[in-house]
Structure 1
Amino acid sequence: MFKNRGDIVYKCTVRLLEDTEILECEFHPSYKGKFLLEHVCQQLNLTESDYFGLRYVDGNGQRHWLHLAKLILKQVKDATPILFSFRVKFYPPNPLLLKEDATRFQIYLQLKRDLLHGRLYCTSNEAAMLGALIIQVELGDYDPNIHVGNYVTEMKLLLRQTDVIEARIQEIHREPVEGTPGGTGGVRGMSAQEAERSFLKIACQLDTYGVDPHPVKDHRSNQLYLGINHSGILTFQGSRKTHHFKWNEVAKINFEGRMFIVHLNYPEKKHTVGFKCPSGAACRHVWCCAIEQMLFFTLPSASDACVYTGGGLFSWGTKFKYFGRTEREILERDGLLPPRDHPEEGSSSGGKRKANSVPATPSTPMTSDFGYSSLPRSTHSAPLGDNICGSLSASGSACNGGCLLSGPAVDIALAGDPLRALPEEHSAKRGTTPVPGGDHEPGEYNFRESFEHSSSESALTTHTTEPRPPDDWSRPSSVEHTPHALTTLHNMPPAPRRFNLLRTFVPSFLFVCLSLVLTTILLFETDVAPSLKKKQEMVTLQYHYYAPLKEYLKRKVVELF
């Protein structure tokens, strides 16, 4: 097979949101990710494709979203076979505002999957209601001649599906809808579409809606799970939501090695919080997810926005280019938001722009207004958003196209002992389903189970079996983040950036040595600078050092081969 020929066709498998449904697709080496996603959406009759993405797992078990503007083959070049998972990438804040019923159904399937795998956490009452709504969508109204015995057991609905919850689901399924004769708050009498919309309405109000957990550790080596959705960045410890950094509080996001860093801006002071990821690749994946979610839900328009991280002395840094429409553009296109009277500065120029600031207005009507302040650009910094002067005008700052943000310097406060690397939490073995562990308290929600399960989602399986989990569910306490809470989290003084001697000296030393060796070989093996070679010092160097070393190396090479 010749890679330069244009008739090469590669085959891949795409798993849909129902594990039993797959698509076999083909693509040429010149095709980009956008082609494959559009092909899958066409097969599903989806026109609102911007909310979806294709996820894959590389050879090291690291998950990635398929970049739509890059070649497919370059992103999955080491994968055999090539497997993708069709998933919801951007969970809309209010899925009931979606224009197409087909899009809402796919969101429903994704949330149903999240509920089964433990990512969509809720109380036992909410779990029973959501389970009953799923039964109503798939089985219809309760019929005593058909639905006999414990018919809910045959359907896997929840990660922790106990006999108590199953009995409550059946009870809600039998009861009529509230407002009808004899209605007691059940689901009987709902159409499939009404049950689906009720499911979405309940699910989108939960704390873990749209959260895909990433394992991290804080400065005290406490195990946390970090989630990113339309509202901001959230952290969970065990069954508790410990912090919620809203997008209007986030001034900048960057990463250094395995450290994911969030710069926060409050009226009183500025804070910086760091989380250590299991690996550098995992940290970059978290950063990319955060940048994409941030830009999608806050930018008025994409306009080829790019986010850059500044590299160090001997590093190239990272560039992330946002591709596709933002949520505000989608809502304006569908007539759910009034069009803007005046386009943003630079939007009509047609050129690419760096994302140097954050828009001052949100894209979704149900969220509050955003008021962003600026922070300086620093090493590995990724100022978020589009270069929109309106976001800075409130603070009296002037901005021209391409300007950098200005403001007081911010130290990276990563107090405490160095964090230990998090061991691999998941396996990408095909055809396996992780078993819920017993290392947590009864009734405690643990993101580790859902992370392990979703990390192997590119495995091509059609059936999954899990043992019955413990009996109890309990809702995590929602602790909204405040400046005081963050101060207690980072109560040690900021640590200044230390100069890394090895990182600076060793490459410089190797470069100088290599240059001297190449210059010496060029001088003694060619006719360059004959007058210089006749000098006494050069003659001594050649016959006493260069020639013996040359003969020694030649002899060793001959002995080796």
Structure 2
Amino acid sequence: MNKGYRCMVRLLDDQEEILECDFQGHQKGDYLMEEVCSKLNLIEKDFFGLRFVDETKQRHWLDLTKNILKQVKSMNPIIFCFRVKYYPKDPHRLAEELTRYHVYLQLRRDLLHGRLYCSADDAALLGAYIVQSELGDYDPSEHAGNYVSNFKILLKQTPETEQKIMELHQTAMQGQVPATAENNFLRKACMLDTYGIDPHPVKDNKGNQMYLGVNYAGVVTFQGSRKTHHFKWSEITKFNYEGKMFVIHLYYAETKRTMGFKCVNSAACRYLWRCAVEQRLFFTLHSSRDAPAIVTGGSFFSRGSKVRYSGRTEREMLEHASSVTRDPPRVRRSLSFRNRLNEGTPTVDEEDVNYRPQQMGPSRPYTNAPYGTNKVPSNTPYSNSMSNATEPGMQTNAIEKQQRPDLLHTPDGDVRKRLPSGEIRTRRHSDVTGTHSPGFDPAQTPEPGEIVRPPKSSYPPSGFGKSFSWNRFLKVCPWAMLFSVLFVLGSLLIVLEVDNETLRPLKESHEIEVLSRNYYLPLKAQLRKSFNLFE
């Protein structure tokens, strides 16, 4: 009998209650997505997704084709966040007001957390639409003083920005009902360069820190507040990754090119690759039936990844939603931004705080630059302060130093304990973690001033250091290298010559095509001509 599990789903509006959903151990992600969308009464559900953060602070989208429990087995409690996964090119083409309202909530959230970065004038206009949606028309008897200060709208909200928002609310927003104000907000937001962009921290081939995002228009990179690249979907032939390196294969001006970007770690690179592949399929395919299984080989020492697209494409979603006839569902609006400023910080959840990988350093305090100027606030997703990377081991040592001031960490990785007499006891990492060599008794406490060493039984046998033989190594090494070369050549020959469905994606890869065209086919023709081979 399958065991039941319970998860929590945070919604786009923080004021709404958290959904609690039950699922069985054998059920897949599409069951949970259907359950959430059913409770929210959404039919255009393919624009949305469920995102979660694993134990390494890496974000993931729940794969709807795979088992739920296998994807979140390390999480306790199990928490998902309901978010917009595919930002539509034109939100006004969505069939229902309820769907547009949820996209509006997501963009309002992006503006609050700095992902929807824009100029000061645009930020003030977007803020005025939000105030109009929540307060209605300006009334001097009700809206006295700096009434916008009761709202937390922008990541960097200054009195000057609040004054601009009030001026626009009092003069340019009259007569707009909430739905109209929200539609105008969507119309303005979808024209911004950062619309639909979830910034991934990367470095280019020169080591410059930048941020890469994917939306309906293709792949975009930013350096600070400046857009540096825009690769359109029509120019991109495929994506792949190898270790930390994310590679974009391009074809434009009748020339094949590649662009590589280095991610923080391999998990972040794999997540970026998957996001890019899914976004490309969603916005470019006419039908989900045409979706191929996308495979990347990773590298020689790392596993690859595979994406089998599920769900409908944007074209299919719009056609399906327009054919559905039902009474317009009721939109429940809430004043979710009231009094946020008085609480000190925006209301965020773990998924919003940890959208960058764990190794990324903490954000620096705000600068005094106004929102939207060329000087980007230091803790926005597009600021360079997020490029302070630390090695995983350094974080562990720093935490241990704070918790155990009696330990002295040496550069070679040893840990030494200060004894009462002032002497230092040397411990290897196994002593700290609780694993010890055979024959070592951790219960034996040292006398003050004594240097503790393992007993003789735990040392390697005598002569161990002399067992290595250079002559044996020099005899074996050439044969090992010859075997490796023959193995690689044999594998390449199989890939190039065998017409197999399994090997076809590898055979059609750019690297194999270049190798075949420039080297293998000319060599094969020469051998055929000289020795009558390959006839």
Q: Comparing 9-18 with 81-90, which one deviates more in the overlay?
A: 9-18
Matched with 1:126 is 122
Q: Could you tell me which of 98, 101, 104 is aligned with 1:102?
A: 98
Establish whether residue 208 from structure 1 lines up as the match of residue 194 from structure 2: yes
Contact 2:138–2:169 under 8 Å retained in 1: yes
Matches within 5 A, 1:138-537: 138-175=134-171, 186-303=172-289, 305-310=292-297, 316-335=303-322, 424-425=359-360, 436-438=365-367, 443-445=374-376, 449-450=380-381
Contact 2:244–2:262 under 8 Å retained in 1: yes
State how far apart, in whole Å, the 1-side matches of 2:28 and 2:378 are: 33
Contact 2:222–2:382 under 8 Å retained in 1: no
**CA distance 1:141–1:68, change in 2 (3 Å):** same
* Stretches of 4+ aligned residues off by more than 6 angstroms: 439-442, 451-454
Instruction: Show CA shifts across 1:263-315 (max 9, x none).
Output: 11112422211000000000000000000000000011112531011365565
Amino acid at match of 1:174: Q
Q: Could you tell me which of 11, 35, 50 is aligned with 2:6?
A: 11
State how far apart, in whole Å, the 2-side matches of 1:264 and 1:218 are: 16
Residue 191 of structure 1: how far off its partner (Å): 1.0
Q: Comparing 18-27 with 35-44, which one deviates more in the overlay?
A: 18-27
Contact 2:51–2:60 under 8 Å retained in 1: yes
Residue 143 of structure 1: how far off its partner (Å): 1.1
State how far apart, in whole Å, the 2-side matches of 1:101 and 1:426 are: 40
State how far apart, in whole Å, the 2-side matches of 1:46 and 1:447 are: 37
Matched with 1:530 is none
Residue 332 of structure 1: how far off its partner (Å): 2.5
Task: Name the % identity.
Answer: 53
Establish whether residue 39 from structure 1 lines up as the match of residue 35 from structure 2: yes
**Secondary structure in 2 aligned to 1:153?**
helix
**CA distance 1:445–1:335, change in 2 (3 Å):** same
Residue 9 of structure 1: how far off its partner (Å): 1.6
State how far apart, in whole Å, the 2-side matches of 1:245 and 1:285 are: 19
Residue 451 of structure 1: how far off its partner (Å): 7.4
Amino acid at match of 1:47: I
Query: What is the TM-score with the length of structure 1 in the denominator?
Result: 0.60
Q: CA RMSD in A?
A: 2.8
Residue 39 of structure 1: how far off its partner (Å): 1.1
**CA distance 1:283–1:447, change in 2 (3 Å):** farther
Q: Could you tell me which of 57, 60, 68 is aligned with 1:61?
A: 57
Contact 1:437–1:449 under 8 Å retained in 2: no
State how far apart, in whole Å, the 1-side matches of 2:233 and 2:299 are: 27
Instruction: Show CA shifts across 1:70-97 (max 9, x none).
Output: 1111000001111111100000000000
Amino acid at match of 1:276: K
Query: What is the TM-score with the length of structure 2 in the denominator?
Result: 0.62
The unaligned stretches of length 5 or more in structure 2 are 324-356, 387-476, 488-535
Contact 2:243–2:299 under 8 Å retained in 1: no
Contact 1:425–1:448 under 8 Å retained in 2: no
Higher helix share goes to which structure? 2
Q: Comparing 159-168 with 84-93, which one deviates more in the overlay?
A: 159-168
**Secondary structure in 1 aligned to 2:77?**
coil
**Secondary structure in 2 aligned to 1:90?**
coil
Contact 1:14–1:83 under 8 Å retained in 2: yes
Between Structure 1 and Structure 2, how many residues are aligned?
A: 355
State how far apart, in whole Å, the 2-side matches of 1:273 and 1:447 are: 27
The unaligned stretches of length 5 or more in structure 1 are 176-185, 337-421, 428-433, 455-501, 513-561
Residue 120 of structure 1: how far off its partner (Å): 0.7
State how far apart, in whole Å, the 1-side matches of 2:54 and 2:268 are: 12
